[in-house]
Chains A and B, each alone.
Chain A
């Protein structure tokens, strides 16, 4: 029997890696993948608590999270294609259109 805290620690580590990836990388693809990492950390947490509380609500919410992640990936990749076509770069610190 694996203790619940192990799952929580795993998902905390995964979530932190995702945060560091979002904040520190320049390539917009890696930033999107880090967001997926964070969503997966939340999924692990939801399923672990759903298992240990013997309640299926957590698994239902994971289905919704996966749905939102799929829609988000589609829209975000379309935005990236648009940005790369208009600005010619995929590095976030070169997108400074709003800088006065």
Chain B
């Protein structure tokens, strides 16, 4: 019961701040609501016994990615923001389509059932950091190494793209 109340609080804040993220005029406000959203998503992860991923969510998303966004938004802060149109001219249609899609998914989820939901996990065989690390470094070692290559490509690509061209 208390879990459901906590989940309801997290879900409500997540949905409201997500809507605020995509509707605010000032991108800095959007980034701030995104920060609130990431904290509450980390709360949902804790509720699902994924403590390590909650910490990673806070450190990587809220700490690194969002600060990068904030820096670039402030760097490129444009003065016409206050009077420019926020959305393109199709936005009422797109919002309507969004409601339709969400309603369809909700209908499917509520009318169907997930296999194995009856024998739900009260036992909770260890999903701690240790088990996660063992799994990551044995079974998923190759994807893990490949993800380091992705990070390297991201690093080099960002530097190459953003550096000024020098004329020789």
Contacts and interface: CB of A to CB of B under 8 A. Distances in A.
A8 B150 CA distance: 29
Contacts of B166: none
A13 to B, nearest CB: 6
A10 B158 contact: no
A36 B34 contact: yes
Interface in A1-31: 1-10, 12-14, 16-21, 23-27, 29-30
Q: Tell me what chain B mostly uses at the interface: helix, strand, loop, or mixed.
A: helix
Contact of A29 (B27, B132, B135, B159): B27
Contacts of B99: 16
A96 interface: no
B86 A71 contact: no
A91 interface: yes
Interface in A71-90: 71-75, 77-82, 84, 89-90
A77 B158 contact: yes
* Size bracket of the A interface: 35 or more
Nearest to A53: B116
Contacts of A34: 21-22
A36 B57 CA distance: 12
Given A24-B95, A75-B158, A51 B50 contact: yes
Contact of B143 (A33, A53, A64, A91): A64
A50 B50 contact: yes
Contacts of B15: 10, 13-14, 17
Contacts of A18: 18, 22
Interface of B: 3-4, 7, 11, 14-15, 18-19, 21-22, 27, 30-31, 34, 37-38, 41, 44-45, 47-50, 52-53, 56-57, 60-61, 64-65, 68-69, 72-73, 75-76, 78, 81, 84-88, 90-91, 94-95, 97-99, 101-102, 105-106, 109-110, 114, 116-117, 120-125, 127, 131-132, 135-136, 140, 143, 147, 150-151, 153-155, 157-159, 161-162
Interface of A: 1-10, 12-14, 16-21, 23-27, 29-30, 32-34, 36-37, 40, 43-44, 47-48, 50-54, 56-57, 59-60, 62-64, 66-75, 77-82, 84, 89-91, 93
Given A26-B84, A47-B48, A75-B161, 9 more contacts: A1-B3, A24-B22, A32-B69, A60-B132, A66-B56, A71-B154, A74-B157, A77-B69, A77-B72
